[in-house]
Chain A
Amino acid sequence: GEDVEQSLFLSVREGDSSVINCTYTDSSSTYLYWYKQEPGAGLQLLTYIFSNMDMKQDQRLTVLLNKKDKHLSLRIADTQTGDSAIYFCAEMAGGYNKLIFGAGTRLAVHP
């Protein structure tokens, strides 16, 4: 079946890099996503990667995909207090753009 797992919590110091990890089970997933959710708000699409790529960089964000191990990571360079939020990993499953989400990683950034 489809399942996405993430660690629940990450604490980093302001200015350091953050790395949020995710594993998924559906080897046929075509796209994998990272969404950001701030308190009381909806989901903001941060970035995504197509399954035939192994890396994608977008400003401070770097996504790494290890398809063999079904492992996805999000690296945030120079983490700021505004990056404090819950980060959701998701895979696209099925033929109609269904997203399967992980439970989210809460990122806390401290001075």
Chain B
Amino acid sequence: DAMVIQNPRYQVTQFGKPVTLSCSQTLNHNVMYWYQQKSSQAPKLLFHYYDKDFNNEADTPDNFQSRRPNTSFCFLDIRSPGLGDAAMYLCATSNGGGYEQYFGPGTRLTVT
């Protein structure tokens, strides 16, 4: 089945220690998104890639970076995680001309 995969599902990192979250997709969609969802809050878009073009949201902290080496994979890098970065991180994809976004299961990040 075509899908959006996120690894790992649970990630624990130490305060200030860089961490990378991974997303892959078999849908061959050209748009990939990263959302942050804190406990009991709405998912919030951090940035997205439209093909190779990176689009950052204005209020996304510089601590968050992303890489998309090819169509299938997209990474979220947090350079120096703080306690406030503990959240569920959701990856989503869409076909550029389409209006449906498909989400992965998420990675829950804990910062100790």
Q: Which of A53-111 contact B (CB under 8 A)?
A: 88, 92, 96-104
The residue in B45, B55, B104 that gathers the most chain A C-beta atoms within 10 A of its C-beta is B45
Choose one: A35, A43, A97; the contact of B94 (CB below 8 Å): A97
Q: Is B105 an interface residue (CB 8 A)?
A: yes
Please give the distance in Å from A14's CB to the nearest CB on chain B.
25
Return chain B residues, CB-CB under 8 Å to A103.
40-42
CB atoms of A45 and B42 under 8 A apart: no
Contact among B6, B48, B102, B104 with A96 in the assembled complex (CB-CB below 8 Å): B48
Contact with A along B61-100 (1 / 0, CB 8 A): 0000000000000000000000000000010101010111
Contact B101 A97 (CB under 8 A): yes
Of the listed residues A48, A97, A103, the one surrounded by the most CB atoms of chain B closer than 10 A to its CB is: A97
CA distance A100 to B43 in the complex (A): 8
**Does A96 lie within 8 Å of B42, measured CB to CB?**
no
Q: Judge whether A96 and B50 touch: CB under 8 Å.
A: yes
Number of A residues near B (Cβ < 8 Å) is 22
Chain B residues closer than 8 Å to A35, beta-carbon distance: 103
Please state if B90 and A43 are interface contacts (CB–CB under 8 Å): yes
Contacts of A20 in B (CB 8 A): none
Query: Using an 8 Å CB-CB cutoff, how does the interface string of A1-39 with B read, 1 for contact, 0 for none?
Result: 000100000000000000000000000001100010000
Q: Assuming the A-B contacts A43-B90, A97-B31, A97-B94, are A88 and B43 also in contact, with contact meaning beta carbons closer than 8 angstroms in the complex?
A: yes
Chosen A-B contacts, 29 in total, with CB atoms closer than 8 Å, are: A4-B42, A30-B99, A35-B103, A40-B108, A41-B106, A42-B6, A42-B90, A42-B103, A42-B104, A42-B105, A42-B106, A43-B90, A43-B103, A44-B103, A45-B100, A45-B103, A48-B99, A48-B100, A92-B99, A96-B48, A97-B98, A97-B99, A98-B45, A98-B48, A99-B43, A100-B42, A101-B43, A104-B40, A104-B42
Identify the 6 closest CB pairs spanning chains A and B, nearest first.
A101-B42, A43-B103, A42-B103, A42-B105, A42-B106, A103-B42
Binding site for A on B (CB under 8 A): 4, 6, 31, 40-45, 48, 50, 55, 90, 92, 94, 96, 98-106, 108
